[in-house]
């Protein structure tokens, strides 16, 4: 859920986007929320949480690359490329599975195919939205995933969320939404497509 914050930092670093100081404060507070969730202390730290941190930077890199992709590359091409990369990564991860390899049953294969169909459709829709929509409008929709993740974690996996985790998630969501809202002064009235994480337009 810290991906929008990383997108802002990445846009400033790679695209030269001007970011107001108040937005940098929001980025810093967002990462404080991340630390509250993963708690990197010997007693509470879980090494597997580093995979989630790496995924955050991966998602942000994907969004920035999608936003900066040339118009000659269609959203469908980007969607197919992303699907192929995910498929290749899944095949590689099979080699690290400690259990014996087995083919899915017919019902499992049907569910996997349905999952893939939904995944491809969602990825293409996200790609199109990131390329043509206002980032400040599109990106906050990511935070709805947090509600579903909490619901599934509690109802399906029996997990119990402590106060630190809930507070950290709330801080991440709050600072992320704040950082992507139109700010005072320079952020207002720029016109379509010039959000706070928009690459600068070329002149001439």
Domain extents for the chain? Answer: 3-70+134-187
Q: What is the mean pLDDT of the chain?
A: 77
- Which residue carries 């991440």 as its tokens? 172
Q: Which two tokens stand for residue 50?
A: 């580093």
> pTM for the complete prediction?
0.63
**Would you tell me how many other CB atoms lie within 10 Å of the CB of residue 92?**
9
Structure confidence at residue 22 (pLDDT): 80
Q: What is the dihedral of CA 60, 57, 23, 126, to 10 degrees?
A: 20
Count of residues making up the chain: 204
The yes-or-no verdict on residue 31 having pLDDT over 90 is no
Structure confidence at residue 114 (pLDDT): 92
Structure confidence at residue 194 (pLDDT): 44
pLDDT, tens digit (0-9, with 9 covering 90-100), for 1-14: 677 778 777 877 88
Answer yes or no: are the C-beta atoms of 56 and 2 closer than 8 Å: yes
pLDDT, tens digit (0-9, with 9 covering 90-100), for 111-137: 989 988 888 888 888 888 878 776 655
Which helix or strand (DSSP H or E) is residue 180 part of?
helix 163-180
3-state SS assignment for residue 128: helix
- How many helices (H) and strands (E) in the chain? 8, 0
């Amino acid at each position: 859920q810290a991906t929008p914050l990383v997108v802002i930092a990445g846009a400033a670093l790679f695209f030269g986007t001007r970011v107001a100081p108040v937005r940098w404060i929001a980025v810093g507070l967002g990462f404080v929320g991340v630390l509250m969730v993963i708690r990197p202390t010997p007693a509470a730290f879980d090494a597997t949480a580093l995979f989630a941190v790496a995924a955050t930077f991966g998602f942000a890199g994907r969004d920035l690359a999608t936003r900066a992709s040339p118009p000659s590359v269609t959203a469908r091409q980007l969607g197919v490329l992303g699907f192929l990369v995910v498929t290749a990564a899944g095949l590689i991860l099979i080699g690290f599975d400690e259990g014996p390899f087995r083919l899915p049953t017919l019902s499992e294969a049907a569910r996997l195919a349905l999952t893939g169909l939904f995944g491809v459709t969602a990825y293409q829709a996200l790609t199109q939205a990131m390329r043509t929509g206002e980032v400040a409008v599109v990106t906050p929709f990511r935070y709805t995933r947090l509600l579903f993740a909490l619901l599934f974690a509690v109802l399906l996996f029996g997990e119990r969320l402590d106060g630190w985790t809930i507070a950290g998630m709330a801080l991440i969501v709050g600072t992320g939404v704040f950082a992507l809202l139109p700010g005072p002064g320079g952020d207002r009235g720029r016109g379509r497509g010039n959000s706070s994480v928009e690459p600068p337009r070329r002149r001439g």
